[in-house]
Amino acid sequence: MSSLPPGQFKGHRFAIYTINGVPLVKHEDYTLELFGEVERPLSLTFAEIKNIATMKINRDFHCVTRWSITDCEWEGIGFSELCERAGVKSEASFAYAHCLDGYTTVIPMENMQDAMLAVSLNGRPLSPEQGTPVRLVVPSLYGWKSAKWVRAIELLGEYRDGYWEERGYHERGDFNTEERFKDPAARFIHKKVARKQTADL
């Protein structure tokens, strides 16, 4: 990308945020579910996902805490392909990600058009810290919407807060317009989470 969005600086490595530590799961035990406002709920094993994970995108990654990592190449399956397989109902307005560590986040369907379920980053399989077996990548929004360790995506007819949204983060999270927080006090929460994680080690 030629320039960074407002308020961002170029970082050199990803900072890893979790709410309950890094979950470890065997690939052979993993399944991804797509359910909710769909005609045909899906359940895919990791092997099945790998067989159809042919989509590649190159995008910058922007964290709400203001660092950005440029030129990230993700490979996986496009969310739109999953929607075609499941037959999305017209009522579906939001995608709600459920993750293996208990994390959740909500994304407007219009921001999911170029989203993907990724299995690799920069030519390498996702590490545990980066969200293996499968993570969500939502290129048009801040990084907290690109949920790691995704186990299911629920399509909703009405909005529902996810983990950070419940704690004051913006409902959408568009980095071009700096949709960071609906509650200004929420900007301090990441620091509190980081301190708690350090104390728990």
Tens digit of each residue's pLDDT (9 = 90 or more) over 124-183: 999 999 999 999 999 999 999 999 999 999 999 999 999 999 999 999 999 999 999 987
Return the SS3 of 169: strand
Domains within the chain, CATH numbers bracketed: 9-192 (3.90.420.10)
Do the Cβ atoms of 4 and 10 come closer than 8 Å? yes
* Nearest CA-CA partner of 112 in 147, 76, 137, 77: 137
In the structure, what pLDDT confidence band is assigned to residue 195 with cuts at 50, 70 and 90? very low
Average pLDDT, the chain: 91
Question: How does pLDDT run across 29-54, given as a tens digit for each residue?
Answer: 999 999 999 999 999 999 999 999 88
The secondary structure of residue 54, as a DSSP letter, is -
- This prediction has a pTM of 0.90
In terms of pLDDT, which residue wins out, 191 or 137? 137
Task: Give me the half-sphere count of Cα atoms (radius 13 Å) on the Cβ side of residue 76.
Answer: 29
pLDDT score recorded for residue 201: 26
